[in-house]
């Protein structure tokens, strides 16, 4: 029995191996048929449902591909359209710019042409005027013709024409005198203003008294000041004290209430010479200007404070104490109040931080300068921008 069972198992194993070999052969035959008849039968399925699903999936994939291609095509069309619009806009802008430029150039050309035409007309008119001015024609031509006719008729008796000759000579003389008179009148009328200006400059020494680099913009006030200084320099009262010309740098006029004040800046080296005659000079100058207050101030220079770093200011010399801001302002104050003397100063600081300078003047000069304290304060504020008040305190000693 044991042998029978083993034989049965062996037959079963042989049958299974034969079936597997048959299946392999059958699969191999299917592969050979597919290779022989082409790859189109590979996807064929015996189940029709599977075929419909594959077809639907293929259609879906193809639709998605076509949709993406359509989107890409639309984007490309939009991009090309934008490029075309940008190109059209650039070309239109360029055409507008060129047309505007051409119109502007044309207008400029018309304006230049109009200017040239006007200049040409004015030049032609000037040439005609000069030609008519300098053109000469023979004087007394009718008299001359009568004389020549008389000479032709009386070749042997020319004395008969003596009367006509004398009339012709008288006519020539009268016409010549008349022409000379008209020429002199025209010349004087055209050059009278320049003649008066040069005459004033030569007589009153405007160009000599004014010590300034540029004398082109000389004001009428400066001319009047120069005339007054020239007259006073040559007057008998001051001629002994003044050995040189009284020069000045500039002059300006400011308003103080209802009164005008004249500030005269004089050269600093000459200010000592002014000091000797300043009281008399101020009195005479104020009389010349109709009672206006006049203040003489030396022209001083303020040097900046030396600095370090990038904004360093290089100077040829060390800044002297006399050219600092405080020193120059103090000297301005002394010049303004002259002939009064400053005997004391006080600085009042208000609650808002502003300062008021109180200047004590010598009480002996109160009668001479008390009526000018407002003028002094206005001039000092104009020069320095600081407020000042003048007082005449009673001395304590």
Confidence of residue 222 (pLDDT cuts 50, 70, 90): confident
Confidence of residue 338 (pLDDT cuts 50, 70, 90): confident
Pair of tokens at residue 279: 């009281």
**Which pLDDT does position 215 carry in this prediction?**
59
Task: Tell me the whole-structure pTM to 2 decimals.
Answer: 0.47
Lowest mean pLDDT among 6-20, 208-222, 357-371: 6-20
What integer is the mean pLDDT of 326-337? 88
Confidence of residue 12 (pLDDT cuts 50, 70, 90): low
SS3 content of the chain, % helix, strand, coil (to 5): 65, 10, 20
pLDDT above 90 covers a percentage of the chain that reads: 2
Contact 332, 380 (CB under 8 A): yes
Q: What is the pLDDT of residues 274-299, one digit of tens each?
A: 888 888 888 888 888 888 888 899 98
Lowest mean pLDDT among 105-114, 150-159, 365-374: 150-159
Higher-confidence position of 9 and 149: 149
- Nearest CA to 368 among 288, 279, 258, 292? 279
What integer is the mean pLDDT of 129-156? 71
What integer is the mean pLDDT of 330-344? 88
Angle, alpha carbons 74-79-82 (nearest 5°): 125
Q: Which residues pair with 361 in a beta bridge?
A: 342
Span 334-397 CATH architecture = 2-Layer Sandwich (3.30)
Lowest mean pLDDT among 108-122, 168-182, 325-339: 168-182
Query: CA–CA separation, 378 vs 298, rounded Å?
Result: 17
Query: CA–CA separation, 267 vs 296, rounded Å?
Result: 10
**Which pLDDT does position 236 carry in this prediction?**
66
Query: CA–CA separation, 313 vs 322, rounded Å?
Result: 19
- CA distances to 112, 117, 338 from 121, rounded to whole Å, are 14, 6, 64
Other Cβ atoms less than 10 A from the Cβ of 238: the count is 17
Q: What stretches of 203-249 adopt beta strand conformation (E)?
A: none
Sorted by where each begins, the domain ranges of the chain are: 137-204, 334-397
**Which pLDDT does position 213 carry in this prediction?**
61
Task: Give the residue carrying structure tokens 């083993």.
Answer: 6
Longest Cα–Cα distance of the chain, Å, equals 206
Parallel, antiparallel, or unpaired for β 355-361 and 342-349? antiparallel
């Amino acid at each position: 029995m044991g042998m029978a069972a083993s034989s049965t198992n062996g037959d079963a194993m042989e049958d299974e191996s034969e079936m597997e070999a048959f299946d392999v052969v059958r699969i191999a035959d299917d592969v050979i048929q597919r290779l022989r008849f082409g790859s189109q039968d590979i996807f064929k399925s015996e189940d029709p449902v599977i075929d419909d699903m594959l077809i639907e999936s293929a259609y879906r994939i193809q639709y998605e591909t076509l949709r993406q291609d359509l989107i890409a095509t639309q984007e490309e069309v939009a991009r090309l359209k934008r490029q075309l619009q940008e190109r059209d806009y650039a070309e239109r802008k360029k055409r507008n710019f060129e047309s505007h430029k051409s119109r502007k150039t044309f207008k400029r050309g018309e304006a230049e042409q109009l200017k040239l035409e006007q200049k040409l007309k004015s030049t032609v008119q000037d040439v005609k005027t000069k030609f008519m001015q300098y053109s000469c024609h023979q004087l007394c031509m009718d008299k001359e013709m009568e004389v020549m006719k008389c000479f032709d008729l009386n070749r042997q008796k020319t004395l008969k024409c003596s009367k006509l000759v004398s009339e012709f000579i008288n006519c020539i003389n009268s016409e010549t005198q008349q022409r000379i008179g008209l020429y002199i009148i025209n010349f004087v009328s055209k050059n009278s203003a320049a003649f008066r200006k040069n005459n004033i400059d030569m007589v009153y020494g405007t160009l000599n008294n004014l010590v300034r680099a540029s004398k082109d913009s000389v004001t009428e006030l400066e001319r009047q000041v120069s005339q007054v200084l020239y007259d006073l320099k040559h007057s008998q009262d001051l001629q002994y004290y003044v050995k040189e010309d009284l020069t000045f740098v500039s002059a300006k006029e400011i308003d103080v209430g209802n009164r005008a004040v004249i500030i005269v800046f004089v050269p600093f080296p000459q200010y000592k010479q002014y000091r000797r005659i300043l009281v008399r000079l101020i009195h005479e100058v104020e009389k010349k200007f109709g009672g206006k207050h006049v203040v003489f101030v030396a022209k001083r220079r303020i040097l900046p404070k030396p600095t370090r770093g990038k904004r360093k200011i290089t100077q040829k010399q060390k800044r002297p104490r006399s050219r600092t801001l405080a020193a120059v302002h103090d000297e301005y104050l002394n010049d303004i109040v002259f002939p009064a003397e400053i005997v004391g100063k006080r600085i009042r600081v208000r609650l808002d931080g502003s300062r008021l300078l109180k200047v004590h003047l010598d009480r002996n000069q109160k009668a001479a300068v008390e009526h000018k304290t407002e003028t002094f304060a206005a001039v000092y504020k104009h020069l320095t921008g600081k407020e000042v008040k003048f007082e005449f305190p009673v001395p304590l000693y």
